[in-house]
Amino acid sequence: MEDGIQLGNEAFNKMLFILNSEITEKNHRYYKYDDEEMQEIAEDVWAMPAFMKEDVDFTLFFIITKISTGETTVAFSKGELSDGDFQLSQPFLTGEGLNMLYQHSQKDAEKVLHFINQISKANEGQWRMVEGEE
């Protein structure tokens, strides 16, 4: 990541994590987080809980999918209960989702960031700053 950009600050909202390879039925189990396993929720869209606690009215899910450039990204969605159905929100950039979690639990946000950084250290992905409109 670029110098001076840290979890919790506004600039971090524009950070996006790109995986070097797509997630498939064969490799999705390699990306377990906190004993959770990715599940394909739509064609080429994988989800996995990042933060779910019974006593907290906030949930966050990893969303891994390809974007228009063909790159596979790690994004986040909030879990929401709507009319008795559980749904995921529109995805957020990696940094924005982590900053949302940071507002609820700094410790858990740091834990999720560590997980993503381990993927980076294994040379399986990298951080990128997203430029453009707000």
pLDDT tens-digit map of 14-52: 999 999 999 999 999 899 999 899 999 999 999 999 999
Separation between Cα atoms, residue 6 and residue 2, nearest integer Å: 9
HSE-CB of 45 using CA atoms within 13 angstroms: 12
Tell me which of 40-44, 52-56, 115-119 is least confident: 52-56
pLDDT surpasses 90 at 1: no
pLDDT surpasses 70 at 132: no
The structure's pTM equals 0.90
Which residue ranges make up each domain of the chain? 10-124
Q: Where are the beta strands (DSSP E) in the chain?
A: 15-19, 39-42, 45-51, 60-66, 72-82, 85-88, 125-129
How many CB atoms neighbour CB 133 within 10 A? Answer: 3
* Rounded (10°) CA dihedral 66, 25, 109, 115: -110
Position 56 scores a pLDDT of 83
Position 110 scores a pLDDT of 97
pLDDT tens column, 82-108: 777 888 999 999 999 999 999 999 999
Separation between Cα atoms, residue 118 and residue 134, nearest integer Å: 29
pLDDT bucket at 2, cuts 50 / 70 / 90: low
Distant-in-sequence, close-in-space partners of 98: CB < 8 Å, separation ≥ 6: 7, 12, 76, 109, 112, 113
Position 59 scores a pLDDT of 94
Q: With contact defined as beta carbons under 8 Å apart, do 33 and 23 qualify? A: no
